[in-house]
Amino acid sequence: NRQNTVCSPIVNCLLHNTSYEVYQEVGCLSTDGLTRRADIIVIDHQKDLDIVLDPTIHFKINEQQPLEVCREKQNVYEPCCDHLGKQYNIQTWKIIGLMFGARGTIPRNTLEILKNLKVSDKAIIAIVSSILKSSLSIITHHLYSLYFHIISIIIFSFCLFKLFCMN
């Protein structure tokens, strides 16, 4: 799955930091009763920093989009903080939406967050590579699908032509 190709390299790097507790795909309940699944939870005992990380891949359309994605993720996960607080005995959570561009771009603020969490350059390159591979696969699928639709229309049109014009 495309999301896992972003999450896995991040989680693997975070697990190398001994001050972090890292959890992936954590189920949580919002105050309005909705069930959510936090992609990555990082608990840093040394810095007293507890983070919900939610990476997402979007086709980047403007410079404000990474901030909009972060706000969107905060709106989704802030109502889950009470539940997460009880689950991990932590009261304050920082919610961070990490945006990655569908064309392999990484916005500056996402890159800064990854660097602050000590995610390696190798992992970042792996993320970009997997996003590009996935995007190319999607494009290829759409092109082949379009190609087969066009061929089907041509064959259908030819059959109609033969049926009505040959009689």
| Tens of pLDDT, residue by residue, the chain (167 residues) | 767 788 999 999 999 988 899 999 999 999 999 999 999 999 987 887 899 999 998 877 788 888 899 999 999 999 999 999 999 988 889 999 999 988 888 899 999 999 999 999 999 988 888 888 887 776 776 666 766 777 777 776 766 666 677 65
pLDDT of residue 159: 67
Q: Give, as one character, the DSSP assignment of residue 118.
A: T
Nearest to 84 by CA among 39, 52, 113: 52
Cβ within 8 Å of residue 40, ≥6 positions away: 7, 10, 11, 14, 22, 23, 24, 51, 52, 53, 54, 55
